[in-house]
Each structure stands twice: as structure tokens, then as C-alpha cells.
Amino acid sequence: MSDMTYRDALNLALKEELRRDPSVVIWGEDVALYEGSFKVTRGLLAEFGEERVKDTPISENTIIGVAIGAAMGGVRPVVELMTVNFALLAMDQLVNHMTKIRYMFGGQTWLPMVVRAPGGGGSQLAAQHSQSLETFFMHCPGMYVAVPATPADARGLLKTAIRDNNPVVFLEHELLYNSRGEVPDDPEYLVPFGAASVLREGTDVTIVAYSRMSILALQAAVELEREGISCEVIDLRTLNPLDTATFIASVQKTGRAVVVEECWQMAGLGGHLAWLIHRDCFDTLLAPVNRVSGLDVPMPYSRKIEKLCIPQMETIAAAVRETLSQKY
């Protein structure tokens, strides 16, 4: 095991897959000479050259469109969007083409491509650069959606994504890049899609979260343990495919659930998770499912107000206490 940052774990995964498979290429805005907006592609141009690591024009629709054609032709593109917010400029290619081509071609072609995109709030980047758009992507049949919370999962999920023959949207939270953790040294370390992780076992309540919210949920669980409250924390790891069985089994054990998402509450993932829990755990639920979400407002620039719009550790802990105070 090696201790490394989330950023370095992603960088290592890219290097390993570029070395392993000559069909893998890296494209995106400032990924070559500048080595990525968040330095995830550091050192790749120097090692692999400009034929495999290319800077692209500032045109997200073009980046995705070219990658789709290349993937159909046998290349494995890993494209980086400077921020997930810019994916909105490529939604036609992402939704109407990338997700549907295999279906519309009757399964005669594969689309092995990965779209990496940093996102999330908390960096004072204001309304147009602080969005959590994961539900946009998981709403569309035909693409996988990965949301790693730890350095180990960042490396393992990215390697799995690059090797998969289906299109993957790979979402990285900007506030996680400097986080550290233990990462297995095995060059073949892979994390399968559709397999949630039990980050912490508990008996009183289940917290279901993903991406940075899983880290905050863990922090809340540690705080609540001092009050005698035992929380089980489930990190979803991928949103499509979604591992329903793991969190359902957990809620059936604890009898209570809090679902946590950074995205807007309206039509957010949390509502779907709550429905699944009510559907499959109705006979064992001891209290209504609680939900913690980002506020349904454009993200403000002010740091103090921005913090109010994004779930915090204290928000999650308060939701757990509220859940434990309720009963059916």
C-alpha cells in the first residue's frame, strides 16, 4: 500500500493504462503542455508524446464528438473537460450520440471512452462553475457514471472505466484532489462498477452517500459515535450501475436511513434512493428516510453563503439525530 493524494492516484491510473494499452489516448483542454487544470495529467506528455496526449480547442461539443468517432474506430479516448459545468455545451454529443450509438447500431459497435470532469462546490467559483450535475448523466440510459470518494477508488475505478467497452462519465470532486489515502500497489488493482463500499459499519442508522459527501458522512459518523450513535456509512462509488443491494441490506439491519447528495434536491438522486429504500425496506423501517441535499439555488460566490448551500458534516449529523428522534 502507498499513501498518495486523490490527484496522484488518478495520474497513476492514467500512466498505467497508457503503458498497458497503446490504443489509450488522452485529449482535452490544457491536458498536455499545462498538464491539466488540476494537474492530473502531469508528466503524461513528456512520457507518451503529443500523438497520445493532445491539447484540444476550447470546444466541448467537438472534443466529445471526435472522441465518439475515435472510439468507434478502435481508439480508447480518455477526454478531460476542464469542469463538468462545460459538459452542458456538449449535451447533444453526450446524450444523443455517446449514450445511444451502440443501441442505434444494433450492438454492432462499442464505444470505449471515458469523459473525466471535475465538479462540485466549495471553491468559491460561483454559480456557473460549482454545480453537481451527476443526475443529468445517470438519467440517460447508455452511459456509466463513476463518482470516486477516495484515492484508492479514484485509481481503481478509473482503470476499470478505461478498460470498459462502454462510455463512462467519470466525475471527480474538486475538493478531493488534495485528500490522501492508502492505495494498493498492485498495477492490476481494479474497482468493479456497481459495487458500493461499506466505509464504516454501524447498527443505529445507515448513511448513504457518494463522492465528497461520503467523506463528510464518515466525519459525521465519528462525531456521532461520541454521543453513542452508531452509523453505518455506504459509499455508492458508481451511480450507474447503482448497487442497490448493499445499502438495502444495511438499512434492513439498522432500520433507519439518511441519504446525502450535494446536487440540488429537486429531481435529485436522493429522492430515488429514498424510494428504493421505502420500497424494499418498508417492513423493517423504524423511521422515515431522511434526505440531505444541496439547496435549490444558484451557487453564491460568498464563502459563508456558499457553505450554507452545500451539505456539511454538521448538516449530516443533525439529520441523523433527527432521524433517530422519529418513529413510524
Question: Coil, helix or strand for 282?
Answer: coil
Which residue is associated with the grid cell 476550447?
A: 58
**Helix crossing, 269-281 with 244-254: angle to 10°?**
60
60 is catalytic: yes
Which residues have CB under 8 Å from 17's CB, separation 6+? Answer: 24, 78, 158, 159, 162, 163
Query: Using CA atoms, how far apart are residues 20 and 49, in angstroms rounded to an integer?
Result: 15
* Residues belonging to the chain: 328
Q: C-alpha distances in angstroms, 166 versus 26, 58, 77, 198, 246?
A: 17, 25, 12, 26, 24
- Measured on CA atoms in the order 134, 137, 140, 145, is the torsion positive or negative? negative
Grid cell digits, residue 248: 438495502
Angle of CA points 100, 102, 104, to nearest 5°: 65
Catalytic site residue from 17, 29, 80, 129: 129
Strands 2-5 and 24-28: unpaired
Residue 277, judged by CB atoms within 10 A of its CB (0-12, 13-18, 19+), counts as buried
Catalytic site residue from 60, 134, 174, 262: 60
**Helix crossing, 151-163 with 6-20: angle to 10°?**
30
Gap between the terminal Cα atoms of the chain: 45
Which residue type is seen at 52? R
DSSP letter at 300 equals P
DSSP letter at 251 equals H
97 is catalytic: no
Query: Using CA atoms, how far apart are residues 253 and 249, in angstroms rounded to an integer?
Result: 6
Catalytic residues: 60, 129
